[in-house]
Amino acid sequence: MKTIETGIPGLTIIEPDVFGDERGFFMESWHADRYESLGLPGKFRQSNLSRSGPGVIRGLHYQYPEPQGKLVSVLAGSMFDVAVDIRTDSPTFKQWAGVELSAENHRQFYIPEGFAHGFCVLEGPVLLSYLCTSVFRAEYDAGVAWNDPDINIRWPVKSGQLSKKDAEAPKLRDIRVEDLPRMNL
């Protein structure tokens, strides 16, 4: 297994070992001891599966005051996955990193607690699997505008199909600081 640093501490791209031949392939999608040895959580509390069609943009989502870390993988299709540091006391506040995740490249993206997460479908439909460090709580669900100019994500698309919630998400500067995570949660 190989890790790729993103320049933002804790935000990690993982390239699992994939063993393949003419019949197909095998890979470990998660192994507590191995992931813990890389500094990633060894315990997740919820597993989710999401399907998104071509042209869909989702995010940027976060949960606060009970934040979620996420280990994201794509089982079908390809997407551009993004995480933004929204921890108000972080030296990398408002910085983002993105990575193409696909069924072919088998990459995973670990997004720590305190980050907003979003993606756009490059080739779909996309079947997305992600493990979460805490359970989803609708009352703490929040978002930041996917195209916030202060964050300036270089998306590979100019527009896409958004949910009403995502289309109306506020810019980061319009969210009260009390409603954003901090590093020492």
CA distance 23 to 110: 29
Residue among 141, 126, 124 at smallest CA distance from 60? 141
Mean pLDDT by 10 residues, the chain (185 residues): 94 95 93 91 94 96 96 98 97 98 97 97 96 97 98 95 97 97 82
CATH value of 44-179 in 3.60.20.10, 3.90.1010.10, 1.20.210.10, 2.60.120.10 = 2.60.120.10
CA distance 61 to 21: 38
pLDDT, tens only, 82-105: 999 999 999 999 999 999 999 999
What does the domain layout of the chain look like in residue ranges?
44-179
pTM for the complete prediction?
0.94
Which residues are annotated as catalytic?
Answer: 61, 130
Q: In whole angstroms, what separates CA 138 from the centre of its chain?
A: 18
Burial 117-126 (b: 16+ CB within 10 A, else e): bbbbbbebeb
Are 1 and 15 spatial neighbours (Cβ–Cβ below 8 Å)? Answer: yes
